[in-house]
Amino acid sequence: MPANTSVWVFEQLGGDRKKLELSDHCAPHGRPRKKPVVETELQQRNSKVRYAGTTAPTRHLFGTMENAQKIDGRLSDSQGGKDFARVKRLEIESFVRDGQQCTVTWDDLISCLCFIERVKFGVESGGEMTYEIEYEVDKNLLDDDLGTLVITPRGPQDITFLMLRAIADMADLTDVPGLRGSLFDSISSGIASITSVSAELNRVAGQIDSFANAPFQLMNQFRAGLDQFRTAVTSLRKTYDDLQVNIALENENAANQQAFWDEQSAWAASSLEAIRLAIEADRAAAVAQRGSILALHTATEGETWEQISRVAYNGSSDRADDIRNANGVAPGANPVPGTTYMVPV
């Protein structure tokens, strides 16, 4: 292989730890001054909320994030030999189907912890195909020591940020020309409801570092907030959809009607993504709780943490503090009669 050949390497961090190499004629390509090989984009993570009584938005900042990257190239039998394109396509598909977090490197220009979200092939013939690979960047590794890297699932704060970002366009729902009176009030009420629920959900998520070590009661608050969020977003989706007939009857201006259809289409997509993320977060929370719970215990009058420990752990009171900590109870506070506590494994 020539010394100046471009080499892209994807390497899985789990499972079979497969390695996928795209080099030489099948490496991702660009064109000088025409098309880059890959585009990198750094974005400030923030959510914008407009509270009643003020025209300026309030922004919640969460630091920076690397946006998704996309590469494309060609698989060709004329360059790689008989059946090269078919075999390489199967290799790429197998790598993506494994669903493993991986690293991607390209010389000293790209080095990321990533997750491949999709791959698309353009089949021109059995021996000529194009590919397009898009991956989410979880971490830029150019300035980090991979040996000290700790791989963790997407956490509550990150998912909540994505949920709030997905519904950021709901502020535009009241800007449609011709939206007035009861129509305007019903939409504004729905937005206010989501804003209130989102603020509380964001507050609770900010107290949880990861699903794995969150106190039981705090996790319950988070899941309850997710349920309220889904309900509020679903309600606004229905309210906005139900306005179609009203808009058509009350608004003779075609441009105004088109503005409504455009907003409705955008909101339908973004709100559905927010709901999908809320379901993902609830599933992750449920799995984490199930994996960390040995049993559930409802405290009785006068019961202590030591007594609960003896019931749960075959007569041993040594796990009393573990039970209290797992439920986010402050030192010195006793179990509250009638309250159900999680007993950790």
- Neighbouring CB atoms inside 10 A of 238's CB total 10
Is 123 a residue whose pLDDT tops 60?
Answer: yes
User: Quick one: average pLDDT of 67-83?
Assistant: 91
Q: Specify the pLDDT at position 250.
A: 52
Sign for the CA dihedral angle at 84, 88, 91, 93 comes to negative
Architecture of domain 7-56+67-148: Beta Barrel (2.40)
Asked whether 11 and 102 are in contact (CB, 8 A), the reply is yes
Q: Which helix (H) or strand (E) holds 60?
A: strand 58-66
* Higher pLDDT pick, 334 / 171: 334
The span from the CA of 141 to the CA of 149, in Å, is 9
Instruction: Report percent pLDDT > 70 for the chain.
Output: 82
Write down the pLDDT at residue 153.
53
pLDDT in tens, 17-44: 889 999 888 999 876 666 788 888 877 7
168-183 residue pLDDT tens: 888 887 776 666 667 7
User: DSSP assignment, residue 142?
Assistant: T
- Quickly count: other Cβ atoms within 10 Å of residue 161's Cβ: 22
pLDDT at 88 over 90: yes
Helices (H), ranges, the chain:
77-80, 84-97, 156-166, 181-205, 216-241, 243-250, 254-292, 305-312, 320-326
- Identity at 271, one-letter amino acid code: S
Mean pLDDT, the chain, rounded, equals 82
pLDDT above 80 for 247? no
pLDDT interval class at 95 (50, 70, 90): very high
Q: Give the pLDDT confidence score for residue 39 in this predicted structure.
A: 86
The structure's pTM equals 0.48
Domain spans of the chain, in order of start: 7-56+67-148, 156-290, 299-344
- The per-residue pLDDT for 146 is 42
Other Cβ atoms closer than 10 A to 146: 12
CA-to-CA distance for 147 and 145, rounded, in angstroms? Answer: 5
User: In the chain, what are the helix, strand and coil shares in percent, each to the nearest 5?
Assistant: 45, 25, 30
**DSSP structure string for 155-166:** PHHHHHHHHHHH
Residue 149 has pLDDT above 70, yes or no: no
Is there a contact between 125 and 75 (Cβ–Cβ < 8 Å)?
A: no
Residue 281 has pLDDT above 50, yes or no: yes
- Other C-beta atoms closer than 10 Å to the C-beta of 216 total 22
Could you report the per-residue pLDDT of 124-146, keeping only the tens digit for each?
Answer: 998 999 999 999 998 888 765 44
pLDDT exceeds 60 at position 245 = no
Instruction: Choose the CATH number for 156-290 among 1.10.287, 3.30.70, 1.20.120, 3.40.50.
Output: 1.20.120
Q: What six digits make up the tokens of 136?
A: 């989410």
Q: Token pair of 129, please? A: 């195909």
CA 282 to chain CA centroid, Å, is 12
Q: Encoding tokens for residue 30? A: 């660009």
Whether the CB-CB separation of 159 and 274 falls below 8 Å is answered with no
Q: Please, what sign has the CA dihedral across residues 185, 186, 187, 190?
A: positive
